[in-house]
Structure 1
Amino acid sequence: MPFNPRARTRAFTAAAVASAAAVVGPLLLAPTADAAAQAVVPPPAHAGFDYQIGSPYTPPAGVQVVSRDHTAAPAAGLYNICYVNAFQAQPGAESEWGDLLLRDAKGNVVYDEDWGEAMLDIRTDAKRKQIAAKVDAWIDGCAGKGFNAVEPDNLDTFDRTNLISESNAKAYVKLLADHAHAKGLAIAQKNTPGFSTDRATTGLDFAVAEECGQWDECGDYTAGFNDNVIVIEYQDKAFRKTCAEFGDRLSVVLRDVNVSAPGDSGYVRKTC
């Protein structure tokens, strides 16, 4: 199961809802055997969105786009984004990665301490290709289930260690983008606002931005992706600010940090 959402950002165009609804229909077909021939289409801009990477549930009324973990099934009749942890290992899954885990000069595995996740070693072309092959298998599963796009998380792992560079991250995510496109899937830039204007290098199609209002970064995403930006806020004050500044352009949702389901005591979901 996925873990809590990544509030990873560091302080460091447009379609109306009606027109967005009109384009959703053609996007809902599951990828065919000849997926490479399909047009890759990002989610409709300014569409109702729900972030369900913690636990899938029946989408609320008005939702057109849903993000769910790759282990879940897509929501029927909607545009579905498939979440994968692409740059770090799931807690407890280190043994699945063997020598592909990032190690420091002493040979110790390097962890994202906030989330207890071992980082993957994307510093060389050879290891990038090996890691991508494993993640590509998850992407294949997303395509096979009928998802429309993929959301590879932790693109900004390099921001939490001096062992990985931005160029390493860009080279690796481009491998994932090429594979996703070959399967007929769009692919998101998850956080990392500084990459938004370098789409020619990364190959990414739209953005999923956590807390861009909190950190005054939403404009950084629109600079590269125009209105093809989905925003998740976790604090009500930041959510209200984001709605005031971008609510007429972008898909914006307020969620609880545990992305829980209705009926759970901490469940929160609001839209502009």
Structure 2
Amino acid sequence: MRLPVLIAALVVTAALTTGLTTGPAEAAKLPDPVPCAGCWKPALNTSWEWRLSSLPAKPFLDVQMYDIDGFAAKSGAIVKELKAAKPGRKVVCYISAGTHEDWRPDAGRFPASVIGKPLEEWEGERWLDIRQYGGTLGEIMKARLDMCKAAGFDAVEPDNVDAYTNDSGFPLTAADQLAYNAWFANEAHKRGLAVGLKNDVAQIPKLLPYYDFAVNEQCWQYSECTTAQNGTYGYDQFVKAGKAVFQVEYELKTSQFCAKSNAQNFNSLKKTYDLDGTRTACR
């Protein structure tokens, strides 16, 4: 879920003036990454489709990976269909790890103390106090990961894992976000699920050891895709580590980003904000 342009600009300004990345002392507090020898490791060049507005229907696209809504697919039927239609295809489970969505079946499990301010332009969705992952919030997220595993997914895409850069209603810090994101990745690995880092670009250097691939929205539009653009962080660091980058632009024309994405070895798509069947692949 991408920030509006104005908010994104304010976030970048805050990062430059206050330092949103943590120092060595904070980084040392992070747990060791949980290894996952059996987890899927997507190749750098992996064709994919991102479909969240509805579940995909036959005939499926001839792609190596589908990223779909976990709750909509919790029965496992569509996951089985997607894999049967193309042997070797992997399926990624989309869930929100950083927001309360009032339409989800587990919405009533969230205590009021963890529910913060609404997300701008996303009705029915509020930020979570990620600092409380040691309690009920963590149990809810573990249950969501269990749901993904039981449905037969190969990986998970946790959305909204950058609350510290937003007006969440809580005094969240970069260290809070690092701790939560590392914890979440470790919980995914404990279940044999690969995990992708969604946005949270500035924390790539610290989180890279925990995540198996990356998912990004609009980094070319906001000029934040590469280390050369940002100074200390970028998705080229994932590629250098042999980890795939799945990237989407909504507003740019393909002529404005595809050549650059291909040069970086990103798997980029042109999609609509609805994340429906509209799709142009850069390669």
**Does the pair score TM above 0.5?**
yes
- Is 1:180 aligned with 2:204? no
Q: Residue 62 of structure 1 corresponds to which residue in structure 2? A: 62
1:250 CA drift (Å): 1.5
- Residues 65 and 92 (structure 1 numbering): CA distance in 2 closer, same or farther, change over 3 Å? closer
Which of 87, 96, 100 is equivalent to 2:109? Answer: 96
Separation in structure 2 between the aligned mates of residue 92 and residue 80 of structure 1, nearest angstrom: 23
What amino acid is aligned across from residue 244 of structure 2 in structure 1? N
CA RMSD of aligned residues (A): 2.3
The whole-number CA distance in structure 1 between the counterparts of 2:248 and 2:180 is: 25
Q: What does residue 222 of structure 1 align with?
A: 236
3-state DSSP of counterpart to 1:230: strand
- Counterpart for residue 247 of structure 2: 231
C-alpha distance in 2 between matches for 1:92 and 1:70: 13
Task: Determine whether 1:131 maps to 2:141.
Answer: no
Is the 1:129–1:175 contact (alpha carbons within 8 Å) kept by the matching residues of 2? no
Q: Which residue in 2 is equivalent to 1:8?
A: 3
Q: 2-side partners of 1:38 and 1:157: how far apart?
A: 30
| Distance change (3 Å), C-alpha of 1:229 and 1:92 | same
User: TM-score under structure 2 normalisation?
Assistant: 0.73
What does residue 246 of structure 1 align with?
261
1:47 counterpart residue number: 46
2:275 aligned to which of 245, 250, 259 = 259
Distance (whole Å) between structure 1 residues aligned to residue 117 and residue 36 of structure 2? 40
* Structure 1 residue 143 corresponds to structure 2 residue 149: yes
Alpha-carbon separation, structure 1, partners of 2:194 and 2:93: 10
**2:235 is paired with a residue of what secondary structure?**
helix
- AA matched with 2:199: N
Residue-by-residue CA offset, 1:86-137 (whole Å, 9 max, x unaligned)? 11000356543123424xxxxxx4222321312111235xx44431211111
Matched length? 228
Q: Confirm or deny that 1:154 pairs with 2:169.
A: no
Give the TM-score, by structure 1 length. Answer: 0.76
Asked if residue 79 in structure 1 is aligned to residue 90 in structure 2, the reply is yes
Query: Cα deviation per residue 1:224-248 (whole Å; 9 max; x = unaligned)?
Result: 44351100111242x4332111225
Secondary structure of the 1:56 match is coil
Q: How far is 1:67 from its partner?
A: 0.4
Task: Give aligned-pair identity as a percent.
Answer: 25
Structure-2 separation of matches of 1:60 and 1:92? 27
1-structure distance, mates of 2:268, 2:96: 22
Alignment gaps of 5+ in structure 1? 1-5, 13-35, 103-108, 262-267
Q: CA separation in 2, counterparts of 1:225 and 1:37?
A: 19
Unaligned runs of 5+ in 2: 13-34, 227-233
